[in-house]
Amino acid sequence: MASIRQVQITFDCAEPERVARFWSEVLGYTTPPPPEGFATWAEFDRTAPPGHRGEAFAVCADPSGAGPRLFFQRVPEGKVVKNRVHLDVRVGTGLVGEERLAALEAECVRLIPLGAVRGQLLRADGVNESCQLMQDIEGNEFCLD
Give the model confidence (pLDDT) of 96-112 as tens digits. 999 999 999 999 999 99
Give the model confidence (pLDDT) of 108-127 as tens digits. 999 999 999 999 999 999 88
C-beta separation of 61 from 29 below 8 A = yes
- SS3 call for 131: strand
C-beta separation of 112 from 118 below 8 A = yes
Domain boundaries, the chain: 8-74, 87-144
Section 54-70 average pLDDT: 84
